[in-house]
Amino acid sequence: MRWYVATLEKTVIETCRKMGIPQATTTSDTGIWVGDNKICAIGVHGSRYVTTHGIGLNCCTDLRWFEHIVPCGIEGKGVTSLSNELQRNVCVEEAATVFVRCFEEHFKCQIQEKVQ
């Protein structure tokens, strides 16, 4: 399980770097961080060789809502998004395209879009 989470972290960090956020990294707190601001939450559960949950990469999130809570229960830390860091709108589709390519690289697999 630790390998899986570490590889997800590497995948998100590479996604951020390819999108123009080279300072994205891990810390002692779970998730991917840009300075003191979390850009991606990670929560994974495994049972009987099946994983559930995953990542939450903030793309164009309205960050004002986080002013009313303690995000992830971590005092003194904030939340950011791809859009906030890049100072432009980053839609989910744009981020997903980059993420999928990085996922393929790190997990050594090929993802094909389902045709209906």
Q: What is the pLDDT of residues 12-27, one digit of tens each?
A: 999 999 999 999 999 9
Q: What is the pLDDT of residues 12-69, one digit of tens each?
A: 999 999 999 999 999 999 899 999 999 999 999 889 988 888 899 999 999 999 888 8
How do the domains of the chain map onto residue ranges? 2-107
The residues annotated with a catalytic role in the active site are: 72
Give the class (CATH, top level) of 2-107: alpha beta
pTM (predicted TM-score) = 0.90
Nearest CA to 55 out of 84, 110, 13 is that of 13
Q: Write out the E strands in 8-88.
A: 32-34, 37-47, 50-57, 78-79
Please report the pLDDT score of residue 53 as a whole number.
Answer: 80
